[in-house]
Chain A
């Protein structure tokens, strides 16, 4: 699934790195606890979260993720977008809750833990 398809499925607004919308994502995770993302996530390309601080972007960067979606209409700061731009990470926001956004993506084929074939 491309990031563009993810954006359309959950009705998200792109906040930075729009040029990378056609990159492919094979799996995603939804989490507000960055320690757990660092502990359990493996090869998930997309992070959906309701937590807003620069460490969300750094965590995504450490995990080689390509896209962050802020749910519940949370809006990242300019500083966070600058950090994401440095790494080419697409940042989006949507008005859905975490559960609903994850459910929509999962039911359309974006699974929780799948390594690229």
Chain B
């Protein structure tokens, strides 16, 4: 397999209003690469939900998007509180978000399920008190 094209982003956890900037940027990058609108939408929505999660729960983190010939891999890593119960976190409607987050239109317990819905493969590695890494894959071909 040839070397992937890698895009790296630092996600600022201080300001909710700027959350999503990396997803907008990756959307533009993928457009320039000529990928199909459906693939671009799936990647950007999955990454956007992940970005929002990192800002809400983990005070930011990093996002790396690797574009291979046959797939796109998104790796979101943070040093946040970790996820205590991943099975519960994957249930639609389950959320530990604050009321202030909910008042912004998020924190409805749809983030992780949405990320799974829009990707072909998703893995969560999380240790309480250490952080969480979410790795998602979307097949191109």
- B-binding residues in A (CB < 8 A): 32-36, 38-39, 51, 53-56, 58-59, 61-64, 79
Contact = CB atoms under 8 A, between A and B. Distances in A.
Interface stretch (B20-28, B67-75, B119-127): B20-28
Interface stretch (B3-11, B82-90, B102-110, B128-136): B102-110
Contacts of B48: 38, 58-59, 62
Contact of A38 (B45, B107, B109): B45
B24 A35 contact: no
Interface of B: 16-20, 23-24, 27, 37, 41, 44-45, 48-49, 52, 92, 104-111, 113-114, 117
Contacts of B23: 58, 62
A64 B115 CA distance: 17
A101 B20 CA distance: 28
Contacts of A62: 20, 23, 27, 41, 44-45, 48
Given A62-B41, A62-B48, A36 B104 contact: no
A55 B110 contact: no
B52 A33 contact: no
Given A35-B114, A36-B110, 11 more contacts: A35-B106, A35-B107, A38-B45, A39-B92, A39-B114, A51-B104, A54-B18, A55-B106, A58-B19, A58-B24, A58-B48
A34 B114 CA distance: 12
Contacts of A39: 92, 110, 113-114, 117
28 contacts: A33-B105, A35-B49, A35-B107, A35-B110, A35-B114, A36-B108, A38-B114, A39-B113, A39-B114, A53-B16, A53-B17, A53-B104, A53-B105, A54-B18, A55-B16, A55-B17, A55-B52, A56-B105, A58-B20, A58-B23, A58-B24, A58-B48, A59-B48, A59-B105, A61-B24, A62-B23, A62-B41, A62-B45
Q: Please classify the interface of chain A as helix (H, G, I), strand (E, B), loop, or mixed, using the class held by over half of its residues.
A: helix
Q: Which of B106, B111, B117 has the most CB of A within 10 A?
A: B106
Contacts of B107: 35
Contacts of A35: 49, 105-111, 114
Contacts of B24: 58, 61
Nearest to B115: A38
Nearest to A56: B105
Chain A to chain B: the 8 pairs with minimum beta-carbon distance, closest first: A35-B110, A34-B105, A58-B20, A35-B108, A54-B17, A51-B105, A39-B110, A39-B114
